[in-house]
Structure 1
Amino acid sequence: MKYNRENLKKAFNATLEGMSVYKAAKVCSVPESTLRDRTLGIVPIDVSIGFTPIFNREEEEKLVAHIKYMADVGYGYNKRGAREYAASLGKDLTQQKSNSSTLSNCWFYGFLHRWPDLKVASPQKLTTCRAEAASRHKLNSYYKELSSIMTRHNIRQSPEQIYNIDETGISTEHNQPKIICSKSTKPQAITSARSSLTTTIAAGNAIGNHLPPFYVFKGKRWSDDLLKGSVPGAEGIMTETGWSNTQVFEKYLTEFFAKHTGISDSRNQRSVLVLYDWHKSHVSLTLTDWAKRHNVILFVLPPHTSHLTQHLDVAIFGLLKSMYNKECQMFLQRNPGTSITKHLVAELTAKPYLRALSPENLTSAFKKTGIYPFNNKVISNSEVAPSIIYEHNQDKDDTDNNKDQTSTKSKKSGKENIEID
């Protein structure tokens, strides 16, 4: 029989005032045997039910805050790690010795139930260089410089003049999605060998217009069959690696990009802002001179911050590759026994490219990165939290260096005083 503990206390107090145990239990809707155990002193009236809590409310709040902080800065606890840390913290707080180095699953799931704002999730991978580069200070400097350039060239309110260029690798070995199969079997999926990687260069502006894809195929001899079934207007080139290089990027920008955006030698040519990643293959004196003559502003995004500032990385390429994987799966289902080669990449990326670089997705990408509408506060504190560790270490190093310099100066000063005396 379930009962309210407050009602049990009321029934107990009623027996102290002379009411019988039977009547008090009936009036307050509590088990008679439970009430009688309390009145006879067999069980204390304020006895706790279940396990004794390891932490009080305030201690658990501190534990939760620590777990959240570690997850924010990129060093979060997994299930076992959280249980082990909580066990060690409990030992420190209670000063009790225990042979167990971890708490139970029962405690863990009860902990999550008590704190519904916590969840178990797969974190996004973040390299140390990205974590260190994406600091609030560096991003503020980036947005300040970008704002100055957009204002100077009067394009802050001209989304059709703001472009983003980026490239991504397309593999013939696609990632298989989940499939339905028998519980008694271990499913397998046929994929093509990773024979080559094809680079796809994409571009779009803040108003939602995209350029056709530009492919960089691995090989030496060009064949028009490589672009069979591709997006109208798509072009390509061959390199030994399948990656872009200085010559490829120059050709893309000065010929392909200029043709599709209407850039010319006219003196009345409007300013065009091009945002792109820094890479040695993207920088050359020839390209810089061409940009000056054609009123093209080449603006390099902060290094190692593409997961936050690169529009196509943030909102486009993930969707593109996901849809490409589905196209590959359907192609192999329709053509069993065949393989996907570089001659099919343009065809299989055609529909995904058009859908991923739709006007809605492009405008959303520019909005998410704070370019248009301009918003230098769009990147949240949680997204730059991992850089806190590196900023702290840098501050510590600076402090140590200052101490060393001060100590050296003091020693020199002391020597000079001795010599003077």
Structure 2
Amino acid sequence: MVRKYIRKTTSKYTKEELDIATAVMRNGKITLADACRFYRIPKTTLFRHAKGLSGIKSSSKGRSIAIPLDIESNMATNIKTMAKWGYGLCKKEIIIAMKQYLEKNSIKTPFKNGIPGDDYFLNVKRRHNLSQKKPQSVEVARKRAADPFVISQYFELVQEVTHNMPPDRIYNIDETSFCLDPSRVKVVGQKGRAAHRVTAGSGKENFTVLMGGNAVGQKLPPLIIFKGKSIWNSWMAKSDEEFVGMTYAATANGWMENGTFSNYFQRSFLPAIGNGRPAALIYDGHVSHISLNIVEMALKENIVILKLPPHTSHLPQPMDLAVFKPFKLKYDNAIIKWQRKNYGVKISKQQFSTIISRIWHELDPQMIRSGFKKAGIFPFDNKVIPETTFEPAALERFKKSKQCPMVPLPTDAIYAQSALPNFSIESALGSIPIENAIVEQSTQIEKVSKITEHSFEAVLLEHVKQESNRGKSKRKRVCPGAEVITSPEAVTKLQKIEYDKRTKTKKGRK
């Protein structure tokens, strides 16, 4: 069977002309011969349609499709809705769902064993603008945290904190992991055969590096964290190859810890930013970044610390948006060059420090400025995150709240309200009053039927029916959204947490 058939002949008449000619002939206003000459329609075709011996079953020139177009359109609309809500189905799941729907509704088709084939699936994709693609893996926490209420609150805090503040005093820091073996740069080889790149390690050893800068592109000295108990001079880059002010640390697991970050803030960040005050520092709310000691130092130095909303660093974090990807690509190229000249030799910590220092020194400051621009921090832009990032239902609730402002609530109530409620696919497709949630995608369909026992929506719900998670204890949120952790409320909260820790420790010792 030809999958992409292209018609080589063109008709001299349209469907509208055929309908008009048929109606005129039935009314007796024109003869068959005159209608054939005037509308340029073959005599046999016009005769059959005028006498009702045949009719047009499809809008196309060929035979009608196996499944009626309105049912097929409803299926495609539901598939698009599932993908938008994060429940994208693969080809096999869609074909099985179609088979179950056809069986339950006793719809006769020419499919073998009632299962649609590859050719039919390809035509469905073409008719309804569908495509198969590699899905982007998104954690459920990130999916729920990308809530317009949370993001809107964050940008309000950014505007409040950075109002009339020079861009050279707005800073962002973040840490990332670097593998000792290259993995990003592709190689060219013979088609049909695997290509290899020999490395000295297993590809699982990583080092953590903290980097940052301000809105005008000035770079902060990086912090390299190794796995170990002490720092040795053989791990550090040579003085003439080292970035000015670069610092080093060692932890048990090679990750950032509270004490490590506190030392970096005091001994590296504060000297690097100079005496320009007030200043603003934006970073994620990892547990190692938040402590009473850091907040007290920031308040003493007149620095406002703004914590990003949880699980949203991929959206408003400048270093994530524009710096880390090109930096790691340059790092991979540098590692590849070094390994070619040192075949089978494991890269040393000192060489790693030297490469990081050199790339950070050569990095274009425009990349850091672009990160702040993409994040909407400077120049300030609270609409920099596209609406397609948010879930449709949450975005609709947010727009309605803007049209009809609600009565201001206490801070804790606002935090609770901004959290995204528990989501299930039943609420997306079948629950009242969101029963017709599929209508947002149904511009091609004049009417969408309610979900019934044998509807295609019900078949899809069987595939994604959620299991009950009973017996799990509820957790209490400490920082549900964006927060200025140098505010009096946050300081009081941190002091209470520190007091509770000390009290519990004393009781345990007794």
The answer to whether TM tops 0.5 is yes
Aligned partner (choices 266, 280, 287) of residue 254 of structure 1: 266
Q: Who is 2:160 aligned against?
A: 148
Aligned partner (choices 274, 289, 292) of residue 296 of structure 2: 289
Q: Who is 2:146 aligned against?
A: 134
Gaps of 5+ in 2: 1-7, 395-418, 428-510
8 Å CA contact 2:222–2:247 kept in 1: the answer is yes
Q: Report the Cα distance in structure 1 between the residues aligned to 2:360 and 2:115, rounded to whole angstroms.
A: 49
Matched AA of 2:171: Y
Shift of 1:184: 4.9
C-alpha spacing 1:184/1:381, structure 2 compared with 1 (3 Å) = closer
Give the secondary structure class of the aligned counterpart of 2:209.
Answer: strand
- Superposed, 1:339-378 pairs within 5 Å as 339-350=346-357, 352-354=359-361, 358-378=364-384
Matched AA of 2:69: N
Gaps of 5+ in 1: 264-268, 397-421
Shift of 1:326: 2.6
Matched AA of 1:311: P
Give the secondary structure class of the aligned counterpart of 1:201.
Answer: strand
Q: Who is 1:326 aligned against?
A: 333
Give the secondary structure class of the aligned counterpart of 2:304.
Answer: strand
Q: Report the Cα distance in structure 2 between the residues aligned to 1:190 and 1:95, rounded to whole angstroms.
A: 58
Q: Report the Cα distance in structure 2 between the residues aligned to 1:73 and 1:315, rounded to whole angstroms.
A: 27
Give the secondary structure class of the aligned counterpart of 1:164.
Answer: strand
8 Å CA contact 1:278–1:303 kept in 2: the answer is yes
Shift of 1:291: 0.8
Q: Report the Cα distance in structure 1 between the residues aligned to 2:41 and 2:197, rounded to whole angstroms.
A: 62
Deviations 1:26-75 (A, max 9, x none): x9598x9x969979x9x946465145252425x45443433333222222
8 Å CA contact 1:165–1:203 kept in 2: the answer is yes
Shift of 1:102: 4.6
Aligned partner (choices 54, 66, 71) of residue 67 of structure 2: 54
8 Å CA contact 1:133–1:387 kept in 2: the answer is no
Aligned partner (choices 304, 311, 314) of residue 318 of structure 2: 311
Q: More deviation in 126-135 or 327-336?
A: 327-336
- Superposed, 1:17-56 pairs within 5 Å as 17=31, 19=33, 44=54, 46=56, 49-50=62-63, 52-56=65-69
8 Å CA contact 2:168–2:216 kept in 1: the answer is yes
C-alpha spacing 1:28/1:360, structure 2 compared with 1 (3 Å) = farther
Q: Who is 1:163 aligned against?
A: 171
Aligned partner (choices 280, 286, 298) of residue 273 of structure 1: 280
C-alpha spacing 1:36/1:383, structure 2 compared with 1 (3 Å) = closer
8 Å CA contact 2:213–2:219 kept in 1: the answer is yes
Q: Who is 1:191 aligned against?
A: 199
Matched AA of 1:372: F
Q: Give the aligned length.
A: 379
8 Å CA contact 2:96–2:115 kept in 1: the answer is yes
Q: Who is 2:121 aligned against?
A: 108
Shift of 1:223: 1.7
C-alpha spacing 1:332/1:224, structure 2 compared with 1 (3 Å) = closer
Shift of 1:113: 2.3
Q: Report the Cα distance in structure 2 between the residues aligned to 1:360 and 1:90, rounded to whole angstroms.
A: 57
C-alpha spacing 1:338/1:285, structure 2 compared with 1 (3 Å) = same
Aligned partner (choices 161, 172, 176) of residue 180 of structure 2: 172
Q: Who is 2:508 aligned against?
A: none
Matched AA of 2:254: G
More helix as a share of residues: 1
Shift of 1:174: 2.6
Q: Report the Cα distance in structure 2 between the residues aligned to 1:284 and 1:5, rounded to whole angstroms.
A: 79
Aligned partner (choices 192, 197, 209) of residue 200 of structure 1: 209
Give the secondary structure class of the aligned counterpart of 2:335.
Answer: helix
- Superposed, 1:89-108 pairs within 5 Å as 89=101, 95-96=107-108, 100=113, 102-108=115-121
Q: Report the Cα distance in structure 2 between the residues aligned to 1:104 and 1:390, rounded to whole angstroms.
A: 40
Alignment RMSD: 3.9
Q: Who is 1:72 aligned against?
A: 84
Q: Percent identity?
A: 26
Q: Who is 2:484 aligned against?
A: none
Shift of 1:203: 0.6
Give the secondary structure class of the aligned counterpart of 2:294.
Answer: helix
Structure 2 length-normalised TM: 0.63
Q: Report the Cα distance in structure 1 between the residues aligned to 2:200 and 2:143, rounded to whole angstroms.
A: 34
Q: Who is 1:227 aligned against?
A: 237
Matched AA of 1:215: I
Q: Report the Cα distance in structure 1 between the residues aligned to 2:162 and 2:156, rounded to whole angstroms.
A: 10
Deviations 1:96-125 (A, max 9, x none): 487756532222322332344x43332322
Q: Report the Cα distance in structure 2 between the residues aligned to 1:354 and 1:361, rounded to whole angstroms.
A: 13
Q: Report the Cα distance in structure 1 between the residues aligned to 2:184 and 2:294, rounded to whole angstroms.
A: 40
Q: Report the Cα distance in structure 1 between the residues aligned to 2:76 and 2:233, rounded to whole angstroms.
A: 60
Shift of 1:254: 1.5
Shift of 1:218: 2.0
Matched AA of 1:125: S
Shift of 1:165: 0.8
Matched AA of 2:121: F
8 Å CA contact 1:222–1:238 kept in 2: the answer is no
Matched AA of 1:181: G
8 Å CA contact 1:176–1:189 kept in 2: the answer is no
Matched AA of 1:213: P
Deviations 1:194-247 (A, max 9, x none): 474211111111222222322112232422553244545433223332222122
Q: Report the Cα distance in structure 2 between the residues aligned to 1:351 and 1:111, rounded to whole angstroms.
A: 53
Q: Report the Cα distance in structure 2 between the residues aligned to 1:230 and 1:82, rounded to whole angstroms.
A: 56
Matched AA of 1:103: P
Q: Report the Cα distance in structure 2 between the residues aligned to 1:71 and 1:133, rounded to whole angstroms.
A: 18
8 Å CA contact 2:315–2:375 kept in 1: the answer is yes
Aligned partner (choices 88, 109, 121) of residue 133 of structure 2: 121
Structure 1 length-normalised TM: 0.75
C-alpha spacing 1:385/1:45, structure 2 compared with 1 (3 Å) = closer
Aligned partner (choices 316, 332, 344) of residue 337 of structure 1: 344
Q: More deviation in 212-221 or 1-10?
A: 1-10
Matched AA of 1:371: I
